Structure 1
Amino acid sequence: MSAATLIARHEWRRLHVQPFAWLLCAVVLALMAWQFLLSLQGYLDVAPKLGALKNAPGVTDLVAIPLLRSFSNLLVLLVPLITMRSFAGERGAHTLPLLLASGVGNARIVVGKYVGALGLVWLLVGLVALMPLTLGFGAQLDVGKIGAAVLGLLLFTVALTAIGIAASTWASQPALAAAIALAISSLLAVVDAGARMQGISNSGINYLALPTHLEPLFRGLVASVDIVYFLLVAGVALALATRRLDALRSRPD
């Protein structure tokens, strides 16, 4: 078993024994379940009227996709809270020097921490995605569109988790790591809206925004440019985290 796999398993287990992680997951699932039920009730209220309309939106467009889109907004706050202890917690507990002295390469340490945190985030994505899928027992769902939206959430979390890991390597306290990751993720989330307010709608700054590449997936459009964008953001963030570990290994603070 590789060192990165061992670190990923350790990170996974560490997250699962923390009461904070369990409480966070419970609160998130409760909020999403409540929104799901409210959306479903709203759909049932208007369903008789929709039946008289031509090409009326169905349960996928009125319940499933809005739920997943709302969850994507929550992930911007949730992921930094999950990743904030990855390295900042190690520094606070004074165990990071031991990890760096273990003989494992910096890249493997970063990847191991990243995979462990991403596993928990993807578990939450899967649980939330199951909510609208249960409607398939009594309604006709656009499975392809929901699949594209779930793929968008998975790619979205690939980028957000990498940003959180990178922030945790640079911060000395978990709360500071969460704040840095939240600030970066929020900036990438709103930069497109700010540009559009200034009349800029087709430039590099629009391309840098997370929603620019997430929204097409919520509409059922899967494009390689959007997939590459999320992977590129993750790669850059993990590379910065590795460079930071290089500095900490040579000059611990």
Structure 2
Amino acid sequence: MSAGLIARHEWRRLLVQPFAWTLAAVVLAFMAWQFLLALQAFIDLAPKLGGLKDAPGVTDLVAIPLLRGFSNLLLPLVPLVTMRAFAGERRAATLPLLLASGVGNLRIVLGKYFGALGYLLLLIALVASMPLLLSFGTTLDLGKVAAALLGLALFTAALAAIGIACSAWASQPALAAAAAIAISSLLAVVDAGARLQGISNSGINWLALPSHLEPFFRGIVASVDIVYFLLVTAVALALATRRLDALRGSADA
């Protein structure tokens, strides 16, 4: 059994769960409502913007705010998707069977991770389709939107890895979700106190998730931000693998 097979199994399991469909429906309905509100506000404001030099367009007033708002929604959303990855297996007493399948711990973690990430990337694509449809009737800065989507995908990948790690360490899905939300929220506001003191270029600012996501929304793709998200993802997946090593060892003992 390979990581790809586990990922496909995880993907299929998500698709047959009413919870996953309900979650997707609620998220898309909420984002569609936000999109229509932003679009109506832009239409009302457009006559006033016509006479301004270098006035913001539909990209800055509709597309980017929508994707930025979705990034805030991902903080509680991703843990709800990943919470059952391992904690659900433990609750159902099926984790020992998975560990005894002969598949390496890293492959199991990667399979669970990519299964959940595939579902989340599909949600991103569906949300992104809303502002992208505007390109048929107006001028949309596709480069800036592409940069924002890249940042959103990397941000989601890091959150999913944190969720998988918490699911591996927690005994119940609810505990896994709560832990992932707490850790993600902490990483989101870790630099808040420093910014209140006027500090914006210190090490604590570098640790904050928004510090590396916001440049993508401005159309800036920097290697330091990509490396940050990849590093968070790698560390979280390594912790999940380490946890499976301990669980496998206790089961063998």
Match of 1:34 in 2: 33
* Residues in 2 aligned to 1:193 and 1:231: alpha-carbon distance in whole angstroms: 23
Helix, strand or coil: the match of 2:52?
coil
* Residues in 2 aligned to 1:244 and 1:216: alpha-carbon distance in whole angstroms: 34
* Residues in 1 aligned to 2:239 and 2:67: alpha-carbon distance in whole angstroms: 30
Match of 1:192 in 2: 191
Pair 1:229-2:228 in alignment: yes
TM-score (normalised: structure 1): 0.98
Residues 195-241 of structure 1, C-alpha deviations (whole Å, 9 max, x = no match): 21133211111001100100000000000110010000000000000
* Residues in 2 aligned to 1:53 and 1:148: alpha-carbon distance in whole angstroms: 26
Match of 2:152 in 1: 153
Helix, strand or coil: the match of 2:101?
coil
Residues 138-164 of structure 1, C-alpha deviations (whole Å, 9 max, x = no match): 110000000000001000011000000
* Residues in 2 aligned to 1:115 and 1:139: alpha-carbon distance in whole angstroms: 35
Pair 1:13-2:12 in alignment: yes
> How far apart are residue 188 of structure 1 and its match?
0.5
* Residues in 2 aligned to 1:194 and 1:69: alpha-carbon distance in whole angstroms: 22
Q: RMSD in angstroms over aligned alpha carbons? A: 0.7
* Residues in 2 aligned to 1:194 and 1:34: alpha-carbon distance in whole angstroms: 33
Amino acid at match of 1:152: G
Moved over 2 A (4+): none
Amino acid at match of 1:105: G
* Residues in 2 aligned to 1:36 and 1:201: alpha-carbon distance in whole angstroms: 31
Match of 2:98 in 1: 99
Q: Which has the higher mean CA deviation after the structures are superposed, 187-196 or 153-162?
A: 187-196
Pair 1:115-2:114 in alignment: yes
Match of 1:43 in 2: 42
Residues 155-208 of structure 1, C-alpha deviations (whole Å, 9 max, x = no match): 001100000000000100001000000000000001122221133211111001
Pair 1:89-2:88 in alignment: yes
Unpaired stretches in structure 2, ≥5 consecutive residues: none
Helix, strand or coil: the match of 2:190?
helix
* Residues in 2 aligned to 1:215 and 1:110: alpha-carbon distance in whole angstroms: 29
Match of 1:220 in 2: 219
Residues 16-49 of structure 1, C-alpha deviations (whole Å, 9 max, x = no match): 1110111000000000000000000000001000
* Residues in 2 aligned to 1:147 and 1:247: alpha-carbon distance in whole angstroms: 41
* Residues in 2 aligned to 1:49 and 1:146: alpha-carbon distance in whole angstroms: 24
Amino acid at match of 1:220: G
* Residues in 2 aligned to 1:245 and 1:204: alpha-carbon distance in whole angstroms: 31
* Residues in 2 aligned to 1:73 and 1:29: alpha-carbon distance in whole angstroms: 14
Pair 1:174-2:173 in alignment: yes
TM-score (normalised: structure 2): 0.98
* Residues in 2 aligned to 1:195 and 1:66: alpha-carbon distance in whole angstroms: 25
Match of 1:55 in 2: 54
* Residues in 2 aligned to 1:192 and 1:53: alpha-carbon distance in whole angstroms: 36
Amino acid at match of 2:206: Y
Unpaired stretches in structure 1, ≥5 consecutive residues: none
Match of 1:241 in 2: 240
State the number of aligned residues. Answer: 251
Helix, strand or coil: the match of 1:245?
helix
Pair 1:165-2:164 in alignment: yes
Helix, strand or coil: the match of 2:153?
helix
Helix, strand or coil: the match of 2:191?
helix
Contact 1:192/1:211, CA 8 A, preserved across alignment: no
